[in-house]
Amino acid sequence: MQKTLLFTLAVTTCFTSFAKKDKTRTHASQKQFNSSTMPAAKTTGVGDTLILSNISSNDTLTILSYPDDGYTSGNNSYGDNGFAERYDFNPADSAVQILGVVTYFTGTVNPSTTATVTLKAYDQGSPERDGNFVYNGFPGVNVLASRSVWLKNLGINSMQDTVKAFLFATPSAVLTDSFFVGYEMYYNASNLAGDTIGLVYTKDGNRNSWTWMPSGGDTIINVQNAVRWTDGKWHDEWFDNSGMAHNFYILPIVKIHGAVSVHPVVKNNLSFFGSYPNPAKDRMNVKLSLETATIVTVQITDMNGHILQTISENAGAGVTLIPVNTAALASGNYLYTVRTSEGDGIASVFSIVK
């Protein structure tokens, strides 16, 4: 049963009150996860393939479960059957094509199960009004790409769950606007038959984007992630569902269209232009731009993730070139990650030819 709680929001010097519907549950247990499981975003010199993320390496990953009730981000006694995370990008910088998703699921799976989930990418729907509340776009009716996956292939393990990547059978068309990625599943809520799964997410408060804002006599609810109830409608995860400002661990794999050397890939304070020369021989430069000064760390690893070199610099605002000495590296492919002290990051693949 949906319960109604009263929350009070301060707007300038006065207060505006509004009712917030919340699935209030008791006796919740929390499971913690290691944020090091988060994959680095990757680009290639040709094709510019990235993993976008609303989750930083500094975030705490968790999930809430309830005895005989399931997960807030999975199958449960309420019958929730869809979960989706929104991703935004600047169309002036690039256009994107969605190739697949990276997911992090947990829970239990019956070894003999035949159940599946359907991973999907959606366009962003138009704003929806509900009285004085305006929801800033739920997952739209247009499914951009999809793939069905057996529960037993989601990476859920009794000893240690694993991050998994899934490519769609057919990539989406090239997009120039915000989109959602998520999953849907159908089940009998009164008989889960040993299948109790959910998406891992960040702890409450790890969401960076604004949750709501006043606009005239309206309250604008920014739909960062959404849950589809048994009524067949999408609901805002924070405002209508759990009351938690967090991000789901479902990350889109996208192909960036546009010249990255001219249009950077932007992650908050960090604008990334790539590296040159690529292939390199004895030296390469990582090019980036910062809105504000920060500490930037470049880490060189082999393709298995073994750290070979770490460089940290106090970088000022504006364009920065970080030189990397590659003379000691043998010919082959390598990965480098770029991180700021605030947690913004991206990664790329480069080659050494000697």
pLDDT over 70 (residue 168): yes
Question: Per residue in 190-213, pLDDT tens?
Answer: 888 889 999 999 998 888 777 889
The amino acid at residue 284 is: M
What is the DSSP code (8-state) at residue 37? G
Tell me the DSSP string of 314-352: EEPSEEEEEEEE-TTSPSEEEEEEEEETTS-EEEEEEEE
Q: How many residues does the chain have?
A: 354
Closest to 135 in 3D by CA, of 144, 125, 143: 125
Q: What pLDDT, on the 0 to 100 scale, is given for residue 316?
A: 94
SS3 sequence, 51-90?
Answer: ECCCCCCCCCEEEEEECCCEECCECECCCCCEEEEEECCC
Which is higher by pLDDT, 68 or 131? 131
The amino acid at residue 101 is: V
pLDDT over 60 (residue 63): yes
Query: What region, left, alpha or beta, does residue 36 occupy, with left being phi > 0 and alpha being psi -120 to 50 degrees?
Result: alpha
* Main-chain phi, psi angles of 94, to 5 degrees: -170, 175
Query: What region, left, alpha or beta, does residue 70 occupy, with left being phi > 0 and alpha being psi -120 to 50 degrees?
Result: left
Kindly report the average pLDDT of the chain as a whole number: 82
Q: What pLDDT, on the 0 to 100 scale, is given for residue 272?
A: 81
- In this predicted structure, which of 41-55, 93-107, 225-239 has the lowest mean pLDDT? 41-55
pLDDT over 80 (residue 90): no
Cis peptide before 139 (omega within 30 of 0): no
Which is higher by pLDDT, 244 or 148? 148
pLDDT over 80 (residue 100): yes
Q: What pLDDT, on the 0 to 100 scale, is given for residue 18?
A: 41
Question: For the chain, what percent of residues have pLDDT higher than 70?
Answer: 84
Beta strands in 61-170 (DSSP E): 61-66, 70-71, 82-87, 95-103, 105-108, 116-124, 128-130, 133-135, 139-150, 164-167
Which is higher by pLDDT, 329 or 90? 329
- Which strands, in side-by-side order, build the sheet including 164-167? 49-51, 250-257, 95-103, 164-167
Q: What pLDDT, on the 0 to 100 scale, is given for residue 138?
A: 96
Q: How many other C-beta atoms lie within 10 A of the C-beta of residue 261?
A: 10
SS3 sequence, 227-243?
Answer: EECCCCCEEEHHHHHHC
pLDDT over 50 (residue 232): yes
**What residue segments make up the domains of the chain, in order of their start?**
26-254, 264-352
Report the alpha-carbon distance of residue 312 to residue 322 in Å, rounded: 9
pLDDT over 90 (residue 262): no
∠ CA 174-180-181, nearest 5°, is: 95
Question: Per residue in 5-49, pLDDT tens?
Answer: 222 222 222 223 343 444 444 445 678 887 777 776 666 544 567
Six-digit token string for 39: 């994959």
Question: For the chain, what percent of residues have pLDDT higher than 90?
Answer: 45
Q: How many other C-beta atoms lie within 10 A of the C-beta of residue 167?
A: 13
Question: Per residue in 307-334, pLDDT tens?
Answer: 899 999 999 999 999 999 999 999 988 8
- Count Cα neighbours of 310 within 13 Å in the Cβ-side half-sphere: 7
Strand 250-257, strand 49-51: pairing: antiparallel
pLDDT band at 67 (very low <50, low <70, confident <90, very high): low
Which is higher by pLDDT, 66 or 318? 318
User: What CATH code would you report for 264-352?
Assistant: 2.60.40.2550
